[in-house]
Amino acid sequence: MGSTSTLHFEAAVTRPLSVVFRTGEAWEGHDYTVEVVAMRRGLDGFDVVVDFRDLEAALDRSLAPLQGRLLSELGLDGPLALAQRLLAELAPFVPAPAHLKEVALTDGRGRRMVVLS
């Protein structure tokens, strides 16, 4: 088998998120599973992509002010804007040579939307 430095590895963490969107006069509550995926070529000295605890802590910090909120009050007009915001906020917390690959939102019906970096 070849060296692990030629292979790409991914690490993902997930957290629940409940938010409300307003479209016109209608209010829509959504429960999502937020998945954040980091990727790198090869593994570090501890055979990991990134420290899961650090990635989870960064995700928790980003989600805390969003939980249960009306996202239009925060300047977010839908799930795409939400995923893009999370991608931008979390990217700096993934240390090189790893990088943030994607943020995915999966709703209660299993519909999944992915934003790639």
Indicate if the pLDDT at residue 1 is higher than 60.
no
Does 72 fall in a domain?
A: yes
pLDDT at 23 (0 to 100): 75
Paired residues of 31 in beta bridges: 18
In a domain, 14, yes or no: yes
117 found inside a domain: no
Q: How many domains does the chain have?
A: 1
Q: Residue 17's pLDDT band (boundaries 50, 70, 90)? A: very high
Average predicted confidence (pLDDT) for the chain: 92
User: Is 115 a residue whose pLDDT tops 90?
Assistant: yes
Does residue 76 contact residue 62 with C-beta atoms inside 8 Å? no
Per-residue pLDDT tens over the stretch 48-57: 899 999 999 9
Examine residue 116 and state whether it is found in any structural domain, yes or no.
no
Model pTM score: 0.90
Whether residue 106 is contained in a domain is answered as yes
Sequence-ordered list of residues with C-beta below 8 angstroms from that of 48, at least 6 positions apart, any chain: 11
Cα separation, 111 vs 80, whole angstroms: 13
For residue 78, give its domain range: 4-110
CB 38 within 8 Å of CB 100:
yes
